Structure 1
Amino acid sequence: MHAPLARISTKLGRNVMTNFVRNHGHGGIPGENLPFDINNRYKLTAMFILYAGSGLSAPYLITRHQLLKK
């Protein structure tokens, strides 16, 4: 009873992944699939510092805000 459903599910999953790889895998160009530009290293460095710095400083800023509240 479950075998036909499993076969259909497997076939559907295989088709979805095949289409995804076929349509989205342009390949060959490093950084093509990234959501940011890696060609300008100074901009990349500044954006990384902002991204990492905001995450690392958030607990300290939240603590400061809570301590300064009346």
Structure 2
Amino acid sequence: MTLVFHKGFSALRYSAFIHQRESFNAVVLEGALASKGMSSFSDKNSADEVGALRAYIIHRANVKTPNDPSHALKQVS
């Protein structure tokens, strides 16, 4: 799986992990990517909070902004 990075951070709104709740929870709550630096947040967030975060990220993935890397690519092409 390829993660898209923007300003040195993984851009979660472009990650395939947002497409399935189980995959997103495995990363955020269970630390599935701990070996790559994305530790578990289960001690800081409940499953409901992570669900709300996922919904927000999905929303943001569908909103284009001038600083959005995909927006910039559309302007260049």
So what's the TM-score if we normalise by structure 1?
0.31
So what's the TM-score if we normalise by structure 2?
0.29
Bigger RCO of structures 1 and 2 (CA < 8 A, at least 6 apart)? 2
Higher helix share: 1
Higher strand share: 2
